[in-house]
Structure 1
Amino acid sequence: MKRFFALCILLPGLDAATFHHTAAAQTVLDNSAQKASPFVKATLKTLTERFSTAHPKFRNLAVHTNSDKKQVVCGQVSLSENKAPAEESFMSFGAAEDSEQPVVYEARTIPATLDSREANQWINHGADLEELEELGCVPEGSYRQYGDTLNKVLQDHKINTTR
């Protein structure tokens, strides 16, 4: 009886947010998750928990094996609140069976001018693209193209500041 009484007092005090995080569902917009392996489902669950406040939407899921015979899942995720997210809201992601966390890369255009204090931020941003390329989730040469563009912007900044 005491337990029942304590439960009756505690339950109304818990807010809805407490229960919200336990039931995270994945929304796959294009049915590409049909026949998804447990690894793919776990990856989607991890990303859903990581972006729990945004209700992520997934598409273009593809699975292949790497040279170590481990599964790799690639796809795109949108954090848009719209039921039909805009094309530019999707970010590429990938994960390998032996990795800890999925890698998510938000494609952002490198500005024409860049303060040298921001260089490390852009270099670190490109590291996610490099990982996705190694996983086979983006075309080969994507990271090199990103690095070339970043180096050109930084070189132009260096030339302009020395004048």
Structure 2
Amino acid sequence: MLFGVAGVCFGASWALFRSKKTIITLQALCSASFITHYLLIGAVSGASMSSLSLSQSLMIASGRRNRALTVLYWSTLPAMMLLTALTWHGPASLASGLGLTLAACGRWQTSVLRLRLFFVAGSLAWIVHDTLVGSPFGCTANIVNLCFNLWTIRALLRERRETMGTPALAAAA
């Protein structure tokens, strides 16, 4: 239970921040918590995908990109396919693999707005996984994360519109 609660705290809180470094750090802590949580409830695919998610977060945390890092980072997707097959547990495995793939695309983005958009989609896949494996902690973390991300995306889009000097009448329409 402790790891599930920690996963909820880290997983729900990262969406409140705007700094990519903070977001990635909290995502890494969330993944580390959910690895153990999923293992304890027997959701091996979820634990495997969380392990790859942790690896992705650690790789991208520095903010530096080079050819070797790019190859290493994207090699987690073939690893995801292999681990999904090895830990196959029906639709739950498919949902966790899809959630990881969308998260990988999100983490790679340089724009925090695009990162959030990918994570909205990824959260939906993880909610399916967590529902199928019976993880109320995973569902809670992803539902809260989804809501916070949608709220923050709305604020970012409003800011963008205001800084672009959109006339008040056009913005109200």
TM-score of the superposed pair, with normalisation by structure 1: 0.36
Comparing both structures, which one devotes a greater share of its residues to strand? 1
TM-score of the superposed pair, with normalisation by structure 2: 0.35
Comparing both structures, which one devotes a greater share of its residues to helix? 2
Q: Which has the larger radius of gyration?
A: 1
- The answer to which structure, 1 or 2, has the higher relative contact order (CA under 8 A, 6+ apart) is 2
